[in-house]
Amino acid sequence: MSEAVREPVPALVTLHVWRVATGAVPTALLRMGRDRTRVRRTAGLRFAKLMGTGDGRTFTIRDADPQRWALLATWTSPEAAADFERSSPVASAWRDIAQESWRVDLRPLASRGRWSGREPFGDPVPVRTDGPVAALTRARLRAGSARGFWRSVPPVSDDLRSREGLRAAIGIGEAPLGLQGTFSVWSSDRAVREFARGPAHAAVVARTEPERWYAEELFARFAVVGGAGTLDGRDPLG
């Protein structure tokens, strides 16, 4: 296996989530195709993924939400991220078709694993944080292992959504099948750690290596340092 490309710890990570009307879904699909190359040309951007979203309950195509789309990006500076928000044609085009938008600003606290052969969040030095925390998981499934993985998801999803301290959770992925993950926001670092130690999540973690579900995986935690807009009609940071 080739060596991963470990990026420096980014000055800022952003996640944009846009919800479009049913009639704008074809335009959103077109944007997904066109903007992958365009967004990579953005000054100050190190790593970016345009993704579809879903509810994350099964990680099958049944979860997919064709009205909601996302962009995760890492930045060399907060100013570069602000300039993208203010003047990028990509950001402007998504705002034009969005009925609702949400942006969350993040600082990496921990990161383990790879995404497209890279380590986009670097190797952060763990620090204590007292505010909201976000968690991101992402995996590329092995074709022969997908069915077993999908069967394992519902108990973890049910446990996650029952947890005190969860403020928001969505499924994310670069494709409807095989490239899947979750993004969640929690009231505290303690809340996300308690979920990770819970029996449902721990059971899946214990099965991961012997069943060889993933060809590639990544887990990262972030301090939430800001945000704007709403997700499904409310502000998860409010």
Number of structural domains found in the chain: 1
Flag whether 1 is in a domain: no
- Ranges of the chain with pLDDT below 70: 1-6, 56-62, 144-159, 162, 176-179, 200-212
Which token pair is 188?
């505290």
Flag whether 68 is in a domain: yes
Parallel, antiparallel, or unpaired: how do β-strands 12-20 and 98-113 relate? antiparallel
Residue 87: name the closest of 47, 123, 44 by CA. Answer: 44
Task: Say how many residues make up the chain.
Answer: 238
Q: What is the pLDDT of residues 21-51, one digit of tens each?
A: 999 999 999 999 999 999 999 999 999 999 9
Given this model, what pLDDT does residue 54 score?
Answer: 85
Q: What is the pLDDT of residues 74-97, one digit of tens each?
A: 999 999 999 999 999 999 999 999
Flag whether 168 is in a domain: yes
Beta strands in 114-165 (DSSP E): 118-119, 133-141
Flag whether 234 is in a domain: no
**Number of neighbouring beta carbons within 10 Å of residue 72:** 23
Cα(22)–Cα(27) distance, integer angstroms: 10
* Residue 237 per-residue DSSP state: T
Flag whether 236 is in a domain: no
Q: Which domain holds residue 31?
A: 9-229
Flag whether 56 is in a domain: yes
Flag whether 2 is in a domain: no
Given this model, what pLDDT does residue 180 score?
Answer: 79
Flag whether 186 is in a domain: yes
- Could you identify the residue written with the tokens 């952003």? 14
Given this model, what pLDDT does residue 1 score?
Answer: 46
Cα(108)–Cα(135) distance, integer angstroms: 10
Residue 50: name the closest of 98, 22, 90 by CA. Answer: 90
Cα(101)–Cα(83) distance, integer angstroms: 17
Residue 34: name the closest of 4, 2, 69, 7 by CA. Answer: 69
Question: What pTM value is reported for the model?
Answer: 0.88
Q: Are 69 and 49 in contact (CB under 8 A)?
A: no
Cα(35)–Cα(12) distance, integer angstroms: 21
List the Cα angle 57/72/96 in 5-degree steps. 95
For residue 113, the Cα-to-chain-centroid distance in whole angstroms is 14
Given this model, what pLDDT does residue 143 score?
Answer: 74
What CATH number is associated with residue 127?
3.30.70.100
Cα(59)–Cα(150) distance, integer angstroms: 6
Residue 49: name the closest of 26, 69, 27 by CA. Answer: 69
125 CB-near residues (< 8 Å, 6+ apart)? none
Residue 153: name the closest of 61, 60, 57 by CA. Answer: 57
Q: Is 70 helix (H, G, I), strand (E, B) or coil?
A: strand
Given this model, what pLDDT does residue 176 score?
Answer: 62
